[in-house]
């Protein structure tokens, strides 16, 4: 940036000492230090906000890519084809979004009839149960 050597810095300090005087030189240096600190702070804030905007732009790009992948997912096409072949004809004729919603709904089937267990035989009272 600025290429100030030791000799130029010494000349500036001597001129400041002559112009301001030795009594007010510490106050001048303190004020100059505060200005430099404010300038650095503003530069750091600018850099941080610029970096944040760049990260947000990258995140927006990533979100758009993910959404495009979701839309072009081959598994979605396979799932829709399977739903069309498995679901009853009235739901297969529905658009994919409605068919997908219906397919996602839980199926409530009637409970199956209880099948009698041939291995369970009543044990008469007072007898020992058979060994397994």
Query: Using one digit for the tens of pLDDT, what is the confidence trace for 93-132?
Result: 555 555 556 655 655 556 555 555 555 566 666 666 666 5
Whether residue 74 is predicted with pLDDT greater than 80 in this model: the reply is: no
Q: What distance lies between CA 103 and its chain's CA centroid?
A: 29
Distant-in-sequence, close-in-space partners of 129: CB < 8 Å, separation ≥ 6: 123
Distance CA(111)–CA(105), nearest Å, equals 18
CB atoms within 10 A of CB 32: 11
What per-residue confidence (pLDDT) applies to 116?
55
Q: What distance lies between CA 102 and its chain's CA centroid?
A: 30
Whether residue 45 is predicted with pLDDT greater than 90 in this model: the reply is: yes
Q: What is the mean pLDDT of the chain?
A: 77
**Of all residues in the chain, what percent carry a pLDDT higher than 90?**
17
Residue 19 CA: distances (Å) to CA of 16, 22, 34, 95, 106? 5, 9, 20, 85, 88
Question: Is residue 80 very low, low, confident or very high in pLDDT (cuts 50, 70, 90)?
Answer: confident
Q: Which has more pLDDT, 34 or 73?
A: 34
**Rounded mean pLDDT, 23-47:** 92
Distance CA(113)–CA(102), nearest Å, equals 27
Whether residue 1 is predicted with pLDDT greater than 60 in this model: the reply is: no
Distance CA(97)–CA(132), nearest Å, equals 54
Residue 79's nearest CA partner among 59, 62, 109, 101 is 101
CB atoms within 10 A of CB 21: 10
**Strand blocks (E) in the chain:** none
Whether residue 14 is predicted with pLDDT greater than 80 in this model: the reply is: yes
Break the chain into its structural domains and give their ranges: 23-57
Distance CA(17)–CA(4), nearest Å, equals 18
**Rounded mean pLDDT, 18-45:** 91
């Amino acid at each position: 940036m600025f290429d100030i050597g030791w000799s130029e810095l010494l000349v500036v300090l001597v001129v400041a000492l002559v112009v301001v005087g030795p009594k007010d030189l510490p106050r001048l240096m303190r004020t100059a230090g505060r200005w430099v600190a404010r300038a650095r702070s503003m530069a750091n804030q600018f850099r941080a906000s610029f970096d944040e905007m760049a990260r947000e732009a990258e995140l927006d790009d990533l979100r758009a890519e993910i959404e495009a992948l979701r839309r072009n997912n081959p598994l979605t096409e396979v799932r829709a084809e399977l739903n069309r072949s498995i679901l009853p004809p009235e739901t297969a004729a529905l658009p994919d979004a409605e068919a997908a919603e219906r397919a996602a709904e839980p199926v409530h089937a009637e409970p199956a009839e209880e099948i009698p267990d041939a291995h369970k035989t009543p044990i008469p009272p007072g007898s020992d149960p058979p060994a397994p």
